[in-house]
Amino acid sequence: MRPRAPSFHGAAVSAPNEDGAVGESPPPGKAAPRKAVRGTSPPSAAPGIGERLFAGLKLLAGLAVVVAASSAVAYSLHRYALTTTRFGIRDVDLEGAKRFSPDEVRTLAGIELGKNLFAFDTRAAEEKLLRNPWVSSAHVLRKLPNTLRVEITERDAAAVAVLGDRPFLVTSDGEPFKEVAADDPNDLPILTGVSAGDWARDRVGSEERLRSGVDLVRQYERLAMAKVHPAEEVNLAASGYTVLTVGRQGIALELGRAPFARKLAMAAEVVGELAAKGRTPGLVFLDNEAHPERVVVRMR
């Protein structure tokens, strides 16, 4: 018979060493002990409020130094630009002037050659130029290193308007811009019929009437007749009735109301036919609105 294996039932069993052998995992339920690593230190604490405030103050102080230095440099450059003779005005570049010479423009604008370009007040120069009634717009610009550019627009004198008893030069837009002086053009057609009272009561309407008179003269000047009998006077009634007087002999063309192109062509044809016969009319009536094709002539 085979012998029986020994029975351990109820026998005491010794517990294993809980530290464990080297290289073995620790027993369940127990964490492995931490080992210190040579050469490392525990993490430092976060900077406090005082340290952050001090760092911010240092940054602000640095910025203040930079701003102060930049301002000092900018001021020095600005002062140098305003005082150095390197930027003295030597030339005036003039554009748009027809009536005025460069010397006259310099006088009007108060430009002094040699004066510092940056110290010169361009806005004040523009205002001085605009005080002259012939100047409608003015721009003064700096061109480095030594030039002022002056751009002006002059008014054109298209006619003379008699407002009350005072004659004024009028632009092609119907704007009276200055009273006639001795040195102003004296060969311009005269516009009558617009009184000083009309101008005071209705400036817009008065300008429109004067502009229509200038337009009529422009239309008439396209005709060959205008070379023989230049326009002398346009009478502009408030109702729109218009009379154009031409030539040294004073031929009155009673045109009535606009439009005028066809009436002017008819007048030129009639006056031309009479001139071929050696005759000159005194009045030519072209104002028949019921029968615009009819022309009535009254001889001298």
Upper half-sphere CA count for residue 146 (Cβ side, 13 Å): 9
The pLDDT value recorded for residue 8 is 43
Using only C-alpha atoms, what is the Rg of the chain?
A: 50
Q: Which two tokens stand for residue 277?
A: 């016969």
Among 76-85, 191-200, 233-242, 281-290, the minimum mean pLDDT is found in 76-85
> How far is 249 from 269, CA to CA, in rounded Å?
18
For 132-142, write each residue's pLDDT tens digit: 999 999 999 99
For the chain, how far is it from start to end, CA to CA, in angstroms? 180
E strand intervals along the chain:
91-95, 135-143, 147-154, 159-163, 166-170, 176-179, 190-192, 231-236, 242-246, 251-256, 281-285, 296-299
Prior bond of 259 cis (ω within 30°)? yes
Tell me the CATH class for 85-154: alpha beta
Read off the pTM. 0.68
For 215-260, write each residue's pLDDT tens digit: 999 999 999 999 999 999 999 999 999 999 999 999 999 999 999 9
Average pLDDT on 107-122 reads: 92
Instruction: Look at residue 63 and tell me whether its pLDDT is greater than 80.
Output: no
The pLDDT value recorded for residue 51 is 76
Domain ranges of the chain: 85-154, 159-299
Instruction: Look at residue 11 and tell me whether its pLDDT is greater than 60.
Output: no
* pLDDT interval class at 288 (50, 70, 90): very high
Q: Dihedral sign, CA of 258, 261, 262, 263?
A: positive
Q: Which CATH number fits domain 159-299: 3.90.1170.50, 3.40.50.11690, 1.20.1600.10, 1.10.357.10?
A: 3.40.50.11690
Average pLDDT on 85-96 reads: 86
The pLDDT value recorded for residue 25 is 47
Is the Cβ–Cβ distance between 145 and 190 less than 8 Å? no
Mean pLDDT of the chain: 83
Percent of the chain scoring above 70 in pLDDT: 74
The pLDDT value recorded for residue 49 is 80
Q: Which two tokens stand for residue 8?
A: 């351990």
The pLDDT value recorded for residue 85 is 59
